[in-house]
Amino acid sequence: MVGAGISTPSGIPDFRSPGSGLYSNLQQYDIPYPEAIFELGFFFHNPKPFFTLAKELYPGHYRPNVTHYFLRLLHDKELLLRLYTQNIDGLERASGIPASKLVEAHGSFVSATCTVCRRSFPGEDIWADVMADKVPRCPICTGIVKPDIVFFGEQLPARFLLHTADFALADLLLILGTSLEVEPFASLSEEVQKSVPRLLINRDLVGPFALSPRRKDVVQLGDVVHGVERLVDLLGWTQELQDLIQQEHGKVQMLSSGAQSSSTSSVHCSLCIAGC
């Protein structure tokens, strides 16, 4: 289970940190209160603030960090049963974790849906409009096309129901970088058997780890990346993780070189925030 805290080292602000969190810095979006940017009622009244935020968060602007690649390494070692994420930044996909292993509980930019006729579109179909600061419109009925990000009050994706089977099969539950405040995601932390260890790597003590800890709970507080690096070191995987990161950055460099040599158009790499 992961939340916004795993993406802050990539430069993406979390939602609730006082002063630095997204909710503390939304004045630029001209909204009456922070949560309005993810409320359907306000969206239909004024969709521009959400699409301004979407332009910033759209896949391609940021790259995965050590924590994302640690999760990718778990997948490569066939140890990752499933990755449940609250994040909408797409960095789990960008790190190379296949969609079959992901439950993007709060949706993603991979697809979009017309809010009127409910026609579905690939996410890239609205990319040009979002980048041009335009509200995407359905070519069939002219309704607003909204990325399949879960707003307050909307149902979670059907894949979220996988938790009913996954958590019963888990041998270990890792919880990284989340406040465990948003339901129903937060309650997943209680769904593994009481005999299953739960490891929290997080800035703060949260959820059941603070209120009703279990005997096998393990907590590593502080910087999430440092906590992950400590775990990787204890597992003896440091070199493997470094090799994986170097390999993925090498792919980015090849893509960047190819883009520079092309006279057609620039390529937005899904891993780069700056030079690799």
Concatenate the DSSP letters of all residues of the chain into one string: -B-GGGTGGGT---SSSTTTSGGGS-GGG--SSGGGGGBHHHHHH--HHHHHHHHHHSTTSS---HHHHHHHHHHHTT--S-EEE---S-HHHHTT--GGGEEETTEEEEEEEETTT--EEEGGGGHHHHHTT---B-TTT-PBEEEEEPPBTSPPPGGGGGHHHHHHH-S-EEEES--S-STTGGGGGG-S-TTS-EEEEESS--HHHHHS--TT-EEEES-HHHHHHHHHHHHT-HHHHHHHHHHHHHHHHHHHHHHHH-SS-----SS-SS--
- State the residue for tokens 């709970």: 217
- Reduce the secondary structure of 22-60 to three states and give it as a string: HHHCCHHHCCCCHHHHHEHHHHHHCCHHHHHHHHHHCCC
Residues assigned a catalytic role: 106
Q: Are 168 and 193 in contact (CB under 8 A)?
A: yes
